[in-house]
Amino acid sequence: MPTTDEGSHDPDLVEDRGTLDVRNKALQRIVEHIVLRVPGTVTHRSTLGRITGMALPKAEITTEGRAARVKVDIAMAWPGNISQVATTVRDTVRQEAFRLSGIQIRSVDVTVHAVDPSASDDTGRRVE
């Protein structure tokens, strides 16, 4: 029968895990992926965006040691509750980005730039 002593390590303990160095670009991609998992958000590329390469969602990360501030620009399907979607994005990014990266997210600023009436909902139906 195994016994617990100071020399044994539980792999599930946070302090026994290695370190993780997540660069801004990696955290940016993580945040953009998290945003698209929030119901009501969609990928959006405007005509100008096709030329400049700008697409939504787009995250901007400012790191401060082992913490970060996030600004994220999103698009959402119409009809939808803009306030509710933005709040859900903020809360989900804060929780999931920390869970996936280990970086404390101090703040998440969400700006809805586009509301897309041609986007589909989660069932694949057109939302009109």
User: Which of 88, 87, 97 has its CA nearest to residue 61?
Assistant: 97
CA distance 116 to 123: 16
Beta strands in the chain (DSSP E): 41-42, 58-64, 67-77, 104-116
Question: Model pTM?
Answer: 0.72
Question: Per the omega criterion (within 30 degrees of 0), is the bond before 57 cis?
Answer: yes
Percentage of residues of the chain with pLDDT beyond 70? 70
What is the pLDDT at residue 106? Answer: 96
CA distance 127 to 119: 6
Low-confidence ranges of the chain (pLDDT < 70): 1-22, 46-53, 120-128
What is the pLDDT at residue 111? Answer: 96
Domains and CATH numbers, the chain: 21-116 (3.30.70.1350)
The encoded tokens of residue 64 equal 């401060």
pLDDT in tens, 97-106: 999 999 999 9
CA distance 99 to 71: 18
Helix axes 82-101, 24-36, angle to 10 degrees: 140
What is the pLDDT at residue 51? Answer: 53
User: Which of 3, 75, 62 has its CA nearest to residue 28?
Assistant: 62
Quick check: 62 and 99 in contact, CB under 8 A? no
